[in-house]
A and B are shown apart, each in its own frame.
Chain A
Amino acid sequence: MRYLLENPGDVLELALEHIQLVGIAIVAATLIGVPLGIICTRVRWLEAPVLNLTGILYTVPSLALFAMLIPYTGLGSTTAIIALTVYSLLAITRNTVAGIDSVPPATLDAAQGMGMTGAQRLLFVELPLALPVMIAGIRIAVVASIGIGVIAVVIGAGGLGQLIFDGIQRLDADRIVAGAIAASVLALATDWLLRRLGELMRRDLRTAGGKG
């Protein structure tokens, strides 16, 4: 704890670096994963191979994925961001599919009866109703990425892993604890924030339904 209390500035700086790594990766994974999920619900035979492939990629140990990218994308944050994006794809794609699948058929029939086109149905009915489940997927991806992002330090990507790595090399438990607490708090805080966001959306959907 001492290190954390004596060097709050350093820890904060590394935390911001960490947030940047994870943030970019999550945005990238969302931009790829959501369309991929939508395509899977439209072209049904794609679902099994896409989800199996992202699932298998998810099992590759992070250190191994980092290592395999190094000869192509070098040491540093680019490699880390690519790896974190790959890991986040599974949760985001899977939950997009699950969210769209959970829309009640009666609602879809009603939308069709109102004369909505396929694109309108997707944008105004399916995606809004799927949003809480999709946000749950993003939440899982964010928490996992904060943990995996710690390991990115070994390829020189910085972040909170720096404290833990320095601690290991200097046999300084205090630094390791500081890094562990900071990463854990960061994960718990974002988890809580995204959970609230998901609840808020669910409530919004309910009241909107009541008024209509």
Chain B
Amino acid sequence: MMLGGDPWDFVDYIRDNQETFYELLRQHLELVGLSVLLGILIALPLAILANRLQALAKPLNWLANIGQTIPNLAVLGLALPYLGIGFRPALFALTILAILPIFLNTYVGIREADRAVVDAAHGMGTSSSQLLLLVELPLASPVIYAGIRTAIIQNIGLATLAAYIGAGGFGDWILQGLAMVSPPILFAGAVSVAVLAMLTEIILGRLRYLVIPAGLRIDSKR
């Protein structure tokens, strides 16, 4: 229906623009990697704190749950008037949106850690910090991992939208394709980011077994 050629010519387009491809890939991965890393650094301590101080748990959970219903595009857009255009506002918005699933999963993961095991650890005289590091966090690790995985996949999608506020990434090609009514450019961006997301999901699914402590693995193998 469109002008400008067959969408499947995108293969040639990527081959002819390899340098741009690698540049967009680098921008995309940088945004996702940094925002998820920052998200972990902020969300993990917050979730641990919320489990220790019940007064914090309610408001933080409430905030995280409401936060997840706020449209991603709005969070990106709101960073714009205050932080301007480019990488920084995008990183800011992506970090905030990465915090939400990681916080919620870590909080629930620690709270739902097997009480009997935690009680046994108490009975063995573990200190509070030992309990956290040696018992609660390992028990919660599959759920925490699931939260980080959600954040990574979510942010690969968000980094695509970040092109709208000038942060680069594969979204750039999608915007160009839309503006120039060129299906090959449109597809070059869309297929690249779709493959990136699917590959990441498959790899993260495989890596799951590395993160789950050996003692918990027997349960997960049905």
Contacts and interface: CB of A to CB of B under 8 A. Distances in A.
A interface bracket (residues with beta carbon within 8 Å of B): 35 or more
Contact of B198 (A59, A74, A171, A188): A59
Interface stretch (A99-107, A109-117, A119-127, A146-154): A146-154
A168 B165 contact: yes
B2 interface: yes
Given A71-B186, A167-B77, A184-B70, A61 B1 contact: no
A183 to B, nearest CB: 5
B73 A165 contact: yes
Contact of A143 (B69, B78, B171): B69
Interface in A48-84: 55-56, 59-65, 67-68, 70-72, 74
**B-side interface mostly:** helix
Given A61-B157, A176-B78, A67 B178 contact: yes
A180 interface: yes
A26 B178 CA distance: 27
A64 B189 contact: yes
Interface of B: 1-2, 7, 66, 69-78, 80-81, 153, 156-158, 160-161, 164-165, 170-171, 174, 177-178, 183, 186-187, 189-191, 193-194, 197-198, 200-202
29 contacts: A61-B157, A61-B160, A61-B197, A63-B171, A64-B157, A64-B190, A64-B194, A67-B177, A67-B178, A68-B7, A68-B186, A70-B2, A70-B186, A71-B186, A151-B72, A154-B164, A161-B71, A164-B74, A164-B77, A168-B73, A168-B76, A173-B81, A176-B74, A180-B70, A183-B69, A183-B71, A184-B69, A188-B66, A188-B69
A184 B194 contact: no
Contacts of B158: 61
Contacts of B69: 143, 146-147, 183-184, 187-188, 191
A173 B89 CA distance: 14
A56 B74 contact: no
A191 B165 CA distance: 30
Nearest to B202: A56
